Amino acid sequence: MTEITLQHRLQEVANLMLKIYQTLAEMQYLDPSWILPGPHKIDDNLLAKYKSLNLDPALIQLFNLLPYVDNQGIEPIDFFQGSEFFDARNEQHLNDSRDPMFKDISLPPWRTALSRMGNHDSVIFYDVRRNMIAIQDHETGSSTDHLPNPYALTDETPEELATTEEHGNGYGGMMWRDAPDVLRDMLGWYEQLVETPGGGSQSYGWGEHEELVPLYKAAGWWPDRAKFHGEVFLVAKARSEAARKAKHHAEEPLRKLSEVEARMGQDRQEDFRLRMERAGTVDDEWKARWNLWNDLRVQERKSKELEVVRRLAEVDCPGGVCQQPDELPLWELGVLKGKYESAKRSIEGHHASGKKDTSVWKMRLSSLEKRERILRRAVEEVLQEADRVCPGKELKPSATEMHRKAEMEAREKPNALIKQQGKWIERGVKDIEELREWMKQLPEEGTERTRAEVEHRIKEAEKGIETSKNRIALAKEMLETGVRPKGGLFWMRQIPGL
């Protein structure tokens, strides 16, 4: 291969990677200012690092030409199929690129990763000798290329394979295709919404692929990208996220009910009865008796909890419906208003801190201002919708929220805490009486393990009573002095031993 041909190959790969990044910017996933096209300046230290890794000179040329995405760490982002962006100027990225899936096996010097493995997601591999790309999933070990070449099932020709095996075969068997074809296909997958941005553990707020596709289409991305309205999409995405979060919040009573019912369904009493029958020692038999008796007590308490959560679910979600259709804009609005106020506070806080003449500060400010603008537009849209659908209506606090508020007051307000801790003391005293009464029936000999466990439970109950007494004393002291102990709202944590 001539030097001109090699340079053309490498430049084509770099140009196509740049187009992919620019497409992600058009899709509103990346800010254009984060994209740094090549060529880049390779200083002596970086060049020495490349040489220390014994990289093929053609890879070093490619690293100089590739575009990179750098947002100065102002927010986490993912790349293709949950992978992360690769930057060959970063020493950690370079080190990881030699063994991108952490198999303790190095890639051959003529291969590199063009993306970093995210949370066990896909990695894009590039072979500079053959100018080919493979996309491999870490967990399944299979190709995630949507158009794999069925004839490229091995890494090399037989002659090359022997050389590859010197570096280990942990990356063997990948399905390779012509690099420009793969990169053009990646562009097409984004354009046709076969793939959407994000999808990994870093891309918070970008939802699932199935959620993003209709939002992109509604904003004009497909079939004619020229009609795409980026901010219209972002507003719709913000509203979709808010609606999803509101639905999740509204359905909390049903989830809590299912959780308690599941715990109630964990009936181990029959198992304890069988252990009693099959016990090989006196201690084994009484241990089973103890477990059975204690489980019956626990089930009784669980049944009381079940009554409470079932009542809350019936009030908040009658017939299993937690959001009335005419109240949906109000649910959405509640979430969006909270996010919008938070965005405004973030801008205020950013102005009050940092060096305002730095590029990182300006980049962060631009990101915050864009978020605030999108959320403001989303709030305005939902307000208009609420005026049409449910004019003058407001959401009332749910029974679950009122119940949680009462529980919080019991933690934060002295009088409420004194009342709550008094009940806990009564329950603790009753527990100790019941445990001691049950222990009277234990045989004196042969039940050492069972006796030790019951005595441990008694000591734990006694500690609980002392803790509650200390909390009551601290609450009374606060009522007399009007001074909260150090620790703020959760002041009971300042009690020694808590």
pLDDT of residue 481: 84
Q: What residue has token string 């399944």?
A: 140
pLDDT of residue 374: 97
Determine how many CB atoms are found less than 10 A away from the CB of residue 167.
Answer: 15
Burial of 108 (0-12, 13-18, 19+ CB in 10 A): buried
Query: Does any domain span residue 276?
Result: no
With residues binned 3-state (H G I as helix, E B as strand, rest as coil), the percentages for the chain, rounded to 5, are 60, 5, 30
Q: Looking at 200, 221, 242, which one is the last position of a domain?
A: 221
Cα torsion angle, 252, 253, 257, 258, sign: negative
Q: Are 302 and 260 in contact (CB under 8 A)?
A: yes
Tokens of 79: 């790349």
pLDDT of residue 170: 62
Query: Does any domain span residue 389?
Result: no
pLDDT of residue 493: 41
For 184-203, give one letter per residue: b (16+ CB within 10 A) or e. ebbbebbbebebbbbbbebb
List the domain range (segments joined by +) for residue 461: 413-498
pLDDT of residue 433: 95
Q: What residue has token string 């938070």?
A: 342
3-state secondary structure 34-81: HEECCCCCCCHHHHHHHHHCCCCHHHHHHHHHCCEECCCCCCCCCCHH
Query: Does any domain span residue 420?
Result: yes
Q: What residue has token string 């809350």?
A: 312
pLDDT of residue 166: 45
pLDDT of residue 485: 63
Q: Looking at 175, 203, 221, which one is the last position of a domain?
A: 221
Distance of CA 169 to the CA centre of its chain: 33
Per-residue pLDDT for the chain (498 aa), expressed as one digit of tens each? 677 789 999 999 999 999 999 999 999 999 999 999 999 988 899 999 999 999 999 999 999 999 999 988 888 899 999 899 999 999 999 999 999 999 899 999 999 999 998 777 899 999 999 999 999 998 888 888 988 654 454 455 544 544 444 444 567 788 899 999 999 999 999 999 999 998 888 887 787 899 999 999 999 998 888 899 999 999 999 999 999 999 999 999 999 999 988 877 666 888 888 998 899 999 999 999 999 998 888 888 888 889 999 999 999 999 999 999 999 999 999 999 999 999 999 999 998 886 777 888 889 999 999 999 999 999 999 999 999 999 989 888 889 889 888 777 766 788 888 888 899 999 999 999 999 999 999 998 899 999 999 999 999 999 999 999 998 888 888 888 877 666 543 444 443 333
Cα torsion angle, 23, 26, 31, 37, sign: positive
Query: Does any domain span residue 119?
Result: yes
Query: Does any domain span residue 449?
Result: yes
Q: How far apart (Å, rounded) are the C-alpha atoms in residues 50 and 56?
A: 9
pLDDT of residue 1: 64
Residue 105 DSSP one-character state: -
pLDDT of residue 489: 35
Q: How far apart (Å, rounded) are the C-alpha atoms in residues 57 and 130?
A: 14
Determine how many CB atoms are found less than 10 A away from the CB of residue 226.
Answer: 5
Strand boundaries in 307-406, DSSP class E: none
Q: Looking at 193, 221, 249, which one is the last position of a domain?
A: 221
Q: How far apart (Å, rounded) are the C-alpha atoms in residues 100 and 93?
A: 9
Cα torsion angle, 323, 324, 327, 332, sign: positive
Query: Does any domain span residue 155?
Result: yes
pLDDT of residue 47: 92
pLDDT of residue 408: 77
Report the candidate in 189, 180, 269 with the shortest Cα–Cα distance to residue 222.
189
Q: Are 55 and 109 in contact (CB under 8 A)?
A: yes
**Rg (Cα) of the chain, in Å, rounded?**
32
Query: Does any domain span residue 49?
Result: yes
Q: Are 435 and 457 in contact (CB under 8 A)?
A: yes
Query: Does any domain span residue 29?
Result: yes
- Count how many domains the chain has: 2
Between 3-26 and 179-191, two packed helices, what is the crossing angle to 10 degrees? 10
